[in-house]
Amino acid sequence: MNSDSGQYHRQGIKSVSVKVQIRWMIRRDMAEVLRIERESFEYHWTEEDFLCCLRQRNCIGMVAEVDGQVVGFMIYELHKTRLHILNFAVADDFRRQAIGGQMIEKLVSKLSQQRRKEITLEVRETNLPAQLFFQNSDFVAVGVLRDHYEDSAEDAYVMKYRLDPEDAMYNFAPHNRIAKYEKLADGLHEES
Ligand SMILES: CC(C)(COP(=O)(O)OP(=O)(O)OC[C@H]1O[C@@H](n2cnc3c(N)ncnc32)[C@H](O)[C@@H]1OP(=O)(O)O)[C@@H](O)C(=O)NCCC(=O)NCCS
């Protein structure tokens, strides 16, 4: 990343980027965070959801600012060996300007070989833009959680980023619907 030149490079793709400041979330950010949350998700968190989460000792909020305006936020949890993203959005008017990417880079900079080596998250099966964004940020899909969401009964893809890219698929055991259907199909062939 080269914020001085205003250009941002990842995987050989160059996009227009704005200069953001990334800092911890504070109580005063809540109104702007809630506005971004509501415009970003059909099933959005309430203020109480945010506060309840941020009261946990292992839960952290960060925001991205442009000219003093909050344009993105991320809530994540600290676990022993990984960071887990719980909620993350960039304001509609500021998307595709590498702000989300810069927030992910900030999170990646918190990983270390000694302790937390990976970042995990769940993304709705219908949220293709976010899946493409995380794929572009070097996350890989490692599993499916069936009927994960109470609101829409959608499945979730579990996506993971690892400091050692070679390890990304380590421990990957296919446990998803395609594997299940393949098994079912095999069974049917054997029967016929
Ligand atoms: C996902 C999200 C945070 C990405 O933020 P962003 O600031 O727009 O992302 P960036 O500009 O850093 O995107 C980097 C790259 O990711 C990919 N990408 C991002 N949004 C994409 C989209 N809508 N469609 C396809 N690819 C996309 C592109 O490769 C993009 O590079 P490019 O613009 O040079 O083509 C944002 O779209 C968002 O807030 N979505 C709604 C909330 C949400 O779904 N959150 C995730 C929940 S798990």
Q: Is 56 in the pocket of ligand 1 (CB under 6 A)?
A: no
Predicted structure pTM score: 0.84
Best probe residue, ligand 1, of 133, 134, 137, 148 (max atoms within 8 Å of C-beta): 133
Question: Residue 6 — very low, low, confident or very high, per pLDDT cuts 50/70/90?
Answer: very low
Q: What is the pLDDT of residue 18?
A: 87
Q: What is the pLDDT of residue 175?
A: 55
**Ligand 1: nearest atom to the Cα of 104:** 12
Distances (CA, A) of 127 to 9, 25, 42, 132, 157: 24, 25, 11, 9, 10
Q: What is the pLDDT of residue 165?
A: 72
- Say what percent of the chain tops pLDDT 90: 73
Q: Is 159 in the pocket of ligand 1 (CB under 6 A)?
A: no
**Mean pLDDT score, 97-118:** 96
Structural domains of the chain sorted by starting position, each given as residue range(s) with its CATH number in brackets = 7-191 (3.40.630.30)
Which residue owns the Cα nearest ligand 1 atom 34? 15
Q: What is the rounded CA–CA span in Å between residue 13 and residue 116?
A: 28
Which residue owns the Cα nearest ligand 1 atom 5? 100
Which has more pLDDT, 47 or 185?
47
The amino acid occupying position 69 is Q
Q: What is the pLDDT of residue 181?
A: 53
Average pLDDT, the chain: 86
pLDDT at 65 over 50: yes
Q: What is the rounded CA–CA span in Å between residue 126 and residue 135?
A: 15
Q: What is the pLDDT of residue 189?
A: 52
Can you tell me whether residue 134 is helix, strand or coil? helix
pLDDT at 180 over 80: no
**Mean pLDDT score, 135-149:** 96
Q: What is the pLDDT of residue 8?
A: 39
Q: What is the rounded CA–CA span in Å between residue 33 and residue 54?
A: 13
DSSP string, 30-95: HHHHHHHHHHH-SSPPPHHHHHHHHTSTTEEEEEEEETTEEEEEEEEEE-SSEEEEEEEEE-GGGT
Which residue owns the Cα nearest ligand 1 atom 21? 129
Which residue owns the Cα nearest ligand 1 atom 3? 89
What is the whole-number distance in angstroms between the Cα of residue 6 and the centre of ligand 1? 18
**Mean pLDDT score, 142-157:** 94
Q: In the 8-state DSSP scheme, what is residue 28?
A: G
Q: What is the pLDDT of residue 183?
A: 55
Backbone φ and ψ for 30, nearest 5 degrees, come out as -55, -40
- Say what percent of the chain tops pLDDT 70: 78
Q: Is 123 in the pocket of ligand 1 (CB under 6 A)?
A: yes
Q: What is the pLDDT of residue 171?
A: 52
